[in-house]
Each structure stands twice: as structure tokens, then as C-alpha cells.
Amino acid sequence: MSSSVRQSPTKRRLVVASGLDRENVEGSDVEHLVHFLDPDASRFPLQNAFPLIALAFSDEGETDLREGLASVHALGTIPEIPLRRIDVPVKAESLSLIRTLVEGGVGRLSRFTSAVTAELAILRRERETLLENYRALEDAFQAHNWEPVAEIFAHDPYADPKDEGIGQLLSTGCVEQLLPVSSHGVAGFALHLHSVPRDGGELVVMLGYVENGEGVAEWTVPYAQLTANWNFFALPRACGGAARTLRLRISTTGTETVELSLGYPIASERYTARSETPHPDLDLRPLAFRVFTGLPGVKPARMPNMIAPTALLEGHFIEDYRLAVDLLSQIVDVSVTPVVPEFQTVRFLEHENAVVCHPLPSGISAGTIGRAVEPGTISFSASAIIDHPKGAPAAVSFLLAPANSNARSEVAELARKGAAKPSAFFSGWREVTAAQAININFQLDKPVREPMDLMILSRAVTDTVDFSWLKVSGFRLVKQSAGASNVRQ
């Protein structure tokens, strides 16, 4: 069997020879190590070869080999290859010596160098891959930072066929919802409404901390600014400091209420919506809401609106309360008018938790509720409407006077001078018609220090007061607890 068959091929061609000397190499011990320079391979003369020595067996082969190697040396990529002339009669001994040299220490060194070079190439490719991955992560991180507002939590709305709606809970009390996220960095939240009435009314949303009862902000939003979709409530500055638990308190004013959407049932009772009055729709279900972090005052994409707070409560401990039915039923007529009516102008409507104050052609019709306003109260709101389709318009106002004061004297002072006494708070007159209920928001300059009487007043605005049954309902007051005064001081 010839040596060409016995020798296994190798990927490392360590000897170079001219193609003119091919017949002298074929069948020898170094055939598997030789790379031949062919004339038609001038473009890639040493492809897949790293020669350590060049062999020539004839003058023609030596000349051809020197010309081929000259073009390779001109590239300057490999060191100069030594050329050795082999005598044909003794070529067997010379080729055996060359094979021993090439496959011995020099060959091992060459193979080691080749392996190191391959490993370096692999490491270089892995390094480039790592750098590409790092740049991709960096770009993704920067892109996330470039987003002005990011959603961090959401409860999607879920309509259950058995839902009755929680509008009555919002009008007679409030619904509370804990936000299951850290307050740090929160710049706003969104509530989903599936129904918004056209008639007058307001949605009142208060955001505060659970741990210490401190308020963050309050939104009093007319129905005209709401949409039957997601509504984004923005903060002027993001929540900072220690991470705390946020709580929403939501209620409404007016004759009709919006319908808040509820989410899917959840296992944790802590984060379900709650109300003082039990309701089947609130059974293990949260409100539909979304929480956002990022730049304050920036509306998230695909949000139809952005609502700014009407009051900032930072550092204040806030509590809202409704006038109890027992208090409303104790209303007393303190009207100041020269006309003696033939009917009761001020009275309590038991089944509607409302008060009627019918104006007269002259003077002021008024009713007072003793000690209805608690200390610390900072704002007051209610809704009013002429409760008859043919009722004449009227004007309505509210007066807060010191407890146990002479109510008729307070009303007479207002009728005579058009302004209340310095010790009282007057809301100003608002015109009311039968077409649409109005909301009256009365923000005090400073919190009430002592209990005060609440007076509801009405007067005529036209020549007639026929059927002008002025009905006032939805009394809601907001007070700052004693802790808030300590904080301000």
C-alpha cells in the first residue's frame, strides 16, 4: 500500500511546493503536509495553509516557487518562507527528515499556535456578542427611561351580568380602594367609568396614605370632564420619601351618579374595594384602575383626558363626612321675610335625605341645622335643583355661623347688608333651575375651629316663585383632623 494511502489527510499544510514538482512529492511521506502552488491559484496562493518551509526538486520548480512566494511576501502577512532544494536521488531521506521536523516540535508548536489563534478568534466573537447584547440592554434601559410615564399596575374592567352598579354607594357614602404598589414615584392613576350621566354632578376622589392618614390630593371633577373610559388623575409632583400604601376614597355629588367599573375577582380581601354599606358587587372585587410612575403632569399615551387635582393635601390629615339623617331632620325655619306663607317653606324630606327651602317673593327663606359643622372642616359641598318641572328659578346659598348664635339675626344681617358677619362664612348666591342640578362647592379660607351651625338659604330671582321647590341634597363636608394642625404648626 502506498504511503499516500497510509497517511491520513491533515488540515494544516506546513510545506509548500510548486505544482511542477507534484510527481516528486506524490507517494512520499510528506504528501499529506504539502500545499502546491498552482498557476490558476494566484488569487489565493496559500488558502488554508500556513507553510514553514518551501521545497523545490527542479530548476523549473524552484523558479515557479520563488515567483509564487514573491507575491505572497508582498502582502506582508506571513514571515519569509525558507526555500530548500531537494536532490531527487536522495529525496526519501530528506523528506523523512523534513516530516520528522514538521510533525515533531515545530509541528506541535505550529498546532498550538493555530489552536491559540482559533481560541482567540472565538473569544473575540464572544466578546463582540456580549458587547452587542450589552448595547441592546442599554438601549432598552434608556428607552424605558425616556418614557415620560410608565404603567406599573393595572386591574382591567370586568362586567359581570349580575352587576347592579355601585352608584348608590358613591352618592350616600364612599368607596375605598387600596393601591397594591409602593407610593414612591407614583405620578398619577386612572379610573375606568362605564357610565357618565349628562346631568350635573361631580366625582370626588381623594388620595391619601394608609399608615398615617395623611392626604396627598383631592379631585372634584364635574361630570362634563369625565369620559366613559379611562380617566387619568394626575399629580403635580410624584409621591416621594418613604414607600407607603396609597388609598383612594371615591364619592359623588348630585342627583345622578357615575358608574365606576369593577375588576375581576381577586383572592386578597385586603385589596378589594370596600364601603361602609355591604354591596354584592364588591364581593372580592377591586375597582378597575391603573397606576403610573414617571414625570408628573404628563398624560399617558392612549388616555383620553388628564385631570389635575383641585386641592393638594400634603401634610394634612383629611377626613370627609356626610350629614347624618338625624341632623338633617332637626332643621329649623329661621326665614326673614315680611310675607307670611300659607305653606311650610322649610322642611326635611325623609325618604330622600334632602332639605326643601322654598323662596318667597321678598326676603330670605332659611333653615338652620345646629352644630352640623364639625371642627376642622375646610370645605362643604351639596347639590341643588328646583324639584318641579314648572318651578320658577331661585337662588341658593349656605351660611356657616358660630354654634348657638342667633340664626335669624345672622340671616337678617345678610339680607340687610348683602354680606355675612365676620364670624360667619358665606358661600355666595347661585341660581338654580328645574332643568339641571347644580353642585355648590364652598371652600373655606381656614379650617373651622369650633362647631358651627349650617344654614340653607333661598330667595327669588324673578317676579314669581310658583312651584319653586328648591331641594338640596348630597351634603358632604371635608375636615382636617387635629393632627393636621400640629403638622402645620
Asked if 287 and 184 count as a contact pair (C-beta separation under 8 A), the reply is no
- What's the confidence (pLDDT) of residue 9? 47
**DSSP state for residue 204 in the 8-state scheme:** E
The grid coordinates of residue 374 equal 364639625
Asked if 288 and 260 count as a contact pair (C-beta separation under 8 A), the reply is yes
Whose grid coordinates read 339675626? Answer: 409
How many CB atoms are located within 10 Å of the residue 159 CB?
A: 9
**DSSP state for residue 115 in the 8-state scheme:** H
Supply the angle between the helices 91-103 and 105-146 in degrees, to the nearest 10: 40
Q: Which of 29, 5, 9 is nearest to 100 (CA)?
A: 29
Asked if 481 and 213 count as a contact pair (C-beta separation under 8 A), the reply is yes
- pTM over cut 0.75: no
Cα–Cα distance, 183 to 255 (Å, whole number): 34
Cα–Cα distance, 241 to 423 (Å, whole number): 39
Cα–Cα distance, 89 to 351 (Å, whole number): 130
Cα–Cα distance, 299 to 148 (Å, whole number): 9
Q: What is the CA radius of gyration of the chain?
A: 46
The grid coordinates of residue 67 equal 515567483
| Cα-to-chain-centroid distance, residue 164 | 29
Bridge partners of 395? Answer: 431, 459
Q: Decide: helix, strand or coil at residue 487.
A: helix
- What's the confidence (pLDDT) of residue 41? 52
Non-local CB neighbours of 27 within 8 Å, separated by 6+ positions: 2, 3, 4
Asked if 360 and 339 count as a contact pair (C-beta separation under 8 A), the reply is yes
Cα–Cα distance, 316 to 334 (Å, whole number): 35
Asked if 220 and 441 count as a contact pair (C-beta separation under 8 A), the reply is yes
Phi/psi of residue 414, each to 5°?
-70, -40
Cα–Cα distance, 258 to 249 (Å, whole number): 15
**DSSP state for residue 283 in the 8-state scheme:** T
Query: What is the mean pLDDT of each successive set of 10 residues along the chain, which is 489 residues long?
Result: 43 77 79 76 61 83 82 70 80 77 69 79 89 79 69 92 86 87 93 87 90 87 93 92 89 83 92 87 94 90 92 75 88 92 91 92 95 89 90 95 91 90 90 85 84 95 94 86 41
The grid coordinates of residue 95 equal 523528506
The grid coordinates of residue 470 equal 328648591
- What's the confidence (pLDDT) of residue 141? 66
Considering only the C-alpha atoms of the chain, give the largest distance between any 2 of them, rounded to a whole number of Å.
150
The sign one gets for the Cα dihedral 434, 439, 443, 444 is positive
- What's the confidence (pLDDT) of residue 437? 79
Pairing status of strand 318-322 against strand 34-37: unpaired
Cα–Cα distance, 29 to 15 (Å, whole number): 12
**DSSP state for residue 179 in the 8-state scheme:** E
The grid coordinates of residue 426 equal 358665606
